[in-house]
Amino acid sequence: MDKNIIGQKISELRHKQQMTQEELAIKVGVSKQTISNWETGLKTPRMGAIQKIAELFHVTKGYIIEGEEENSRRLLSIFEKLNSERQQSVISFAGKKLEEQQLETKLDNEELLKEIDEFVEEYGFEAFENLHKVITSKRQKEQNKNIS
């Protein structure tokens, strides 16, 4: 669970309802300071509190924890209201956009491979391996920091 995403979502939901931290604290059964700590990312709410907040704001726990669910829900809600011909148009459009994205990714990957080849030619494979180890180590440290 990312403390910052959870805190941002709680703050966003609270502001949408024009609710103060104190009002939310009363409804959830915690102190105003606890709400503040959650919203600033100093602390993470327990699952029970996340469940209460989700029920209060009519969202899922997943939306609060991961923050991505609302777009999918909105899209599905709109899609279901379309007639079948328009649904097919949406599917076709989304498919084309996905193909574009995949092509862009492929081109980016090809460009990256060219750059790697040039690097290896200029500095040698051993230098590339060392660079890879440094980058991998940094990423691992970042992931470990985000987990704790």
Q: Cβ of 60: how many Cβ atoms within 10 Å?
A: 16
Q: The pTM is what?
A: 0.48
- Do 48 and 105 reside in the same domain of the chain? no
Mind listing the pLDDT tens digit for each residue in 110-127? Answer: 888 888 889 889 999 898
What's 41's domain CATH number? Answer: 1.10.260.40
Kindly state the average pLDDT of the residues 40-64.
91
Q: How far apart are CA 148 and CA 146, in angstroms?
A: 6
Kindly state the average pLDDT of the residues 85-91.
95
Q: What tokens were used for 129?
A: 């391996």
Contact 76, 87 (CB under 8 A): no
Q: How far apart are CA 20 and CA 106, in angstroms?
A: 47
Kindly state the average pLDDT of the residues 118-144.
86
Contact 64, 6 (CB under 8 A): yes
- Do 104 and 143 reside in the same domain of the chain? yes
Instruction: Please report, rounded to a whole number, the percentage of residues in the chain having pLDDT higher than 70.
Output: 93
What residues make up the domain containing 43? 3-71
Residue from 11, 9, 7 nearest 24 by CA: 11
- Do 8 and 56 reside in the same domain of the chain? yes
| Number of folded domains that form the chain | 2
Helices and strands in the chain, H and E counts: 8, 0
